[in-house]
């Protein structure tokens, strides 16, 4: 198995981000990302600065954040730009599928804590009364996955003019993990069919005037919440084939996501052994007498096993192996000192 680290959902200066393709690639290389996904709002114009594929040791995928006013859908693996249908989120999901691409509900429960009194007035004055764009139509079908954890929306939910300096100087203090609503949406969707969870950035690297602060740089953001894919074969160095490998791993759910600022999550593994066969994230397997679940963490942490949305065990350590006595949708979460760290995709045991 071959693991590659992805920094996903990046805006360039072709929408409301600040960087050129060259600047974004450089930041990705410095942050240690193997692949990146650039997803500008309603356009793929960044292709004018260079096509997708390998750039300086970083595999660049150019997608699009199909962005009607609400219900943003982050699409990868499409060739033609999609003009968003403002009325029908389902039409946008289907337009991505028609091109053979995959898509993820972007920041489905984006929210901001309301400021009051003078803080609210100051927020308006200095432009911190940020508008957020949650999903309004969650009855949609046929989407491939969900952005379960997104760095910028996790960070921005609590920022105001009173605490802005704490937020820019110590951003990690304010990162609290996927919201309970998002995890519930993901687990409920997974009970019906496979729905892949990913962790993304929504990196804009703005405003540049605050560029000395880490939170405003692409490089910093690309070292935070990342989606690690697990591939059966190594990258070949051939752009089209390697892009296809990333897309297929994400489509299948052969991936986990983690805040790598908490600790490097490379090497995390979750698999199930049953009847002499080893099953990986994204797989389905039948329950047998010898079915066993295994988790390996790259360092000591709390391991939670979740079945059908509910925790079934919480242990501490670097690894876990236990018998599986009942079927269900099994996934794993890990924490370090209470801080959310790693979230696996699921293995369905039937």
How does DSSP assign 15-64, residue by residue? TT----HHHHHHHHHHHT-SEEEEEEET--GGGGG--SEEETTEEEEEEE
CB of 98 to Zn ion, least distance (A): 22
**CB nearer Zn ion, residue 72 or residue 194:** 72
Interface with Zn ion in residues 270-309 (CB under 5 A): none
CB of 42 to Zn ion, least distance (A): 11
Establish if 242 lies at the interface with Zn ion (CB under 5 A).
Answer: no
CB of 325 to Zn ion, least distance (A): 41
Query: Segment near Zn ion (CB under 5 A), from 70-78, 241-249, 281-289, 336-344?
Result: 70-78
CB of 90 to Zn ion, least distance (A): 18
DSSP E strands in 201-280: the ranges are 225-231, 255-259, 269-274, 277-280
**CB nearer Zn ion, residue 72 or residue 251:** 72
> Which region holds residue 328: left if phi is over 0, alpha if psi is between -120 and 50, else beta?
left
CB of 17 to Zn ion, least distance (A): 9
Establish if 247 lies at the interface with Zn ion (CB under 5 A).
Answer: no
What does the alpha-carbon distance between residue 93 and residue 74 come to, in Å, rounded to a whole number? 9
**CB nearer Zn ion, residue 34 or residue 65:** 65
Size of the site for Zn ion (CB under 5 A): 4
What does the alpha-carbon distance between residue 135 and residue 3 come to, in Å, rounded to a whole number? 31
DSSP E strands in the chain: the ranges are 2-10, 35-41, 53-55, 58-66, 73-76, 102-105, 145-150, 196-200, 225-231, 255-259, 269-274, 277-280, 284-285, 292-307, 310-323, 328-336, 339-344, 347-349
CB of 9 to Zn ion, least distance (A): 6
What does the alpha-carbon distance between residue 322 and residue 291 come to, in Å, rounded to a whole number? 9
What does the alpha-carbon distance between residue 350 and residue 235 come to, in Å, rounded to a whole number? 32
Interface with Zn ion in residues 34-53 (CB under 5 A): none
What does the alpha-carbon distance between residue 195 and residue 213 come to, in Å, rounded to a whole number? 36
- At 12, give phi and psi (nearest 5°): -105, -175
Which positions from 110 to 129 touch Zn ion by CB under 5 A, shown as an x/- string?
A: --------------------
Establish if 72 lies at the interface with Zn ion (CB under 5 A).
Answer: yes
Establish if 13 lies at the interface with Zn ion (CB under 5 A).
Answer: no
CB of 8 to Zn ion, least distance (A): 10
95-126 burial by CB neighbour count: b if 16+ within 10 A, else e?
bbbeeebbbbbbbbbbebeebeeeeeebbeee
Q: Find the largest Cα–Cα distance for the chain.
A: 64
Establish if 202 lies at the interface with Zn ion (CB under 5 A).
Answer: yes
Query: Segment near Zn ion (CB under 5 A), from 68-76, 237-245, 267-275, 326-334?
Result: 68-76
What does the alpha-carbon distance between residue 92 and residue 84 come to, in Å, rounded to a whole number? 6
Of the candidates 25, 60, 106, 159, which one interacts with Zn ion according to CB under 5 A? 106
**CB nearer Zn ion, residue 106 or residue 175:** 106
CB 6 within 8 A of CB 59: no
**CB nearer Zn ion, residue 147 or residue 333:** 147
**CB nearer Zn ion, residue 69 or residue 325:** 69
CB of 65 to Zn ion, least distance (A): 5
Which positions from 160 to 199 touch Zn ion by CB under 5 A, shown as an x/- string?
A: ----------------------------------------
Query: Segment near Zn ion (CB under 5 A), from 27-35, 64-72, 158-166, 301-309?
Result: 64-72
Residue ranges that bind Zn ion, judged by CB under 5 A: 65, 72, 106, 202
């Amino acid at each position: 198995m071959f693991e590659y680290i992805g920094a996903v959902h990046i805006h360039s200066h072709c929408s409301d981000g600040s960087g050129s393709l060259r600047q974004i690639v450089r930041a990705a290389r410095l942050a240690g990302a193997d692949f990146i996904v650039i997803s500008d709002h309603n356009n793929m114009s960044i292709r004018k600065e260079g096509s997708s594929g390998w750039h300086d040791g970083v595999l660049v995928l150019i997608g699009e954040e199909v962005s009607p006013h609400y219900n943003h859908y982050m699409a990868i693996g499409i060739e033609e730009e999609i003009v968003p249908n403002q009325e029908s989120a389902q039409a946008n999901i289907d337009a991505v599928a028609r091109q053979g691409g995959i898509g993820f509900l972007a920041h489905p429960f984006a929210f901001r804590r309301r400021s009051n009194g003078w803080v609210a007035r100051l927020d308006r004055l200095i432009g911190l009364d940020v508008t957020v764009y949650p999903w309004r139509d969650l009855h949609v079908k046929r989407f491939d996955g969900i952005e379960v954890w997104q760095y910028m929306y996790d960070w921005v939910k609590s920022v105001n003019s009173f605490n802005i300096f704490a937020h820019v100087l110590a951003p990690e203090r304010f990162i609290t993990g996927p919201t309970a609503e998002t995890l519930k949406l993901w687990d409920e969707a997974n009970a019906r069919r496979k729905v892949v969870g990913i962790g993304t950035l929504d990196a804009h690297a703005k405003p540049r005037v605050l560029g000395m602060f880490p939170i405003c740089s692409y490089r910093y953001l690309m070292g935070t919440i990342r989606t690690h894919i697990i591939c059966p074969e190594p990258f070949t160095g051939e752009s089209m084939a390697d892009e296809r490998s990333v897309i297929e791993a994400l489509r299948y759910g052969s991936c986990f996501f983690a805040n790598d600022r908490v600790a490097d999550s490379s090497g995390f593994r979750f698999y199930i052994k049953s009847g002499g066969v080893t099953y990986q994230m994204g797989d389905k397997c039948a329950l047998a007498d010898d079915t066993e679940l295994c988790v390996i963490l790259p360092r000591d942490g709390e391991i939670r096993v979740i079945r059908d949305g509910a925790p079934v065990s919480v242990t501490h350590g670097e690894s876990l192996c236990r018998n599986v006595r009942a079927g269900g949708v099994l996934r794993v979460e890990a924490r370090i000192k209470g801080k959310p760290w790693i979230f696996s995709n699921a293995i369905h045991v039937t």
